[in-house]
Structure 1
């Protein structure tokens, strides 16, 4: 039973991450022709396009993708408790779905910034993935760079962003029971 729950957790997390990535790529107007962007769009199109026919975008936000990510996040808190032999509470599942979506968006941002920092040490020259990661993280790092400029050529904005994301993660984790976050 634990293996099934583990696989379901990975599936729900991956679906939420890929849907958040699609929404995020659209919001920052990232390069659509980048191979990474193309991968995200092609993987999510079968889920998003049918829903987009019913739910149009609003103000530059793809509401169909946002709603789908929220539904997937909420369903996680219905399916996992039922498989564990417990019960589910629909209002609680909907609330936890919002928290899960916010928390995993922050985790995704953390992972992308970490990979971007590691790539800056290793990759020389142009790399399409590094460019798309830069486009994704720049809206979050730019306000930090305005307050704390680089010191002696060392950019501390990523470190400050890590600390802020960790504080937000701790606050959100306090609102979600530990057994539900596995």
Structure 2
């Protein structure tokens, strides 16, 4: 495998920050507990870049467009740096596709891990009061409710996580060639 450690370092750092920015966006969309210590840490980590953007870019309803623009900017910067290090030149349309698809891919990845944690917590610590468990529950609850409207529980067995995992996995496979 031809792997450059510098590219790996760029991807790890950028994707970690992108994960935090997307988590902030999702926490705001799902109206998760703002006073949760984990939420507070996420807000503090992203505020230096989100707050100046908010002065320029207004929110649209519950959608914090400043966080969304920051997520796109982080993904664009990742794509630009990786392609520059590799010496590859692409068109502006390709940059837009890589940025949009990559951001969506990482958002799906965030939901995949949140769902996995939610399922595991439902087995080992149902109703846990840990701040992390509460946030995971608040993030995944809208997905569960949406899926449960279509797929009812069968004798107390909730099949919605299976279908959500399948949908997320399918969409990630579609987006994988365009993600960084």
Q: Judge same fold: TM > 0.5, yes or no.
A: yes
Of the three residues 135, 141, 149, the one matched with 2:144 is 141
Of the three residues 113, 116, 121, the one matched with 1:114 is 116
Judge conservation of contact 1:36–1:129 (CA < 8 Å) in 2. yes
Contiguous gaps of at least 5 residues in structure 2: none
Query: 1:3, CA displacement in angstroms?
Result: 1.4
- Partner secondary structure for residue 150 of structure 1: coil
Poorly superposed stretches of 4+, deviation over 6 Å: none
User: How many residues were matched structurally?
Assistant: 177
The CA RMSD over aligned residues, in Å, is 1.6
For 1:14-93, list aligned pairs within 5 A.
14-93=16-95
Of the three residues 160, 165, 169, the one matched with 2:172 is 169
Judge conservation of contact 2:118–2:140 (CA < 8 Å) in 1. no
2:100 and 2:51 mapped to 1: Cα distance? 22
Q: TM-score, normalised by structure 2?
A: 0.91
Per-residue deviation, residues 160-181 of structure 1 (Å, max 9, x unmatched) = 100011111122235x2xxx63
Contiguous gaps of at least 5 residues in structure 1: none
Q: TM-score, normalised by structure 1?
A: 0.90
Query: 1:60, CA displacement in angstroms?
Result: 2.1
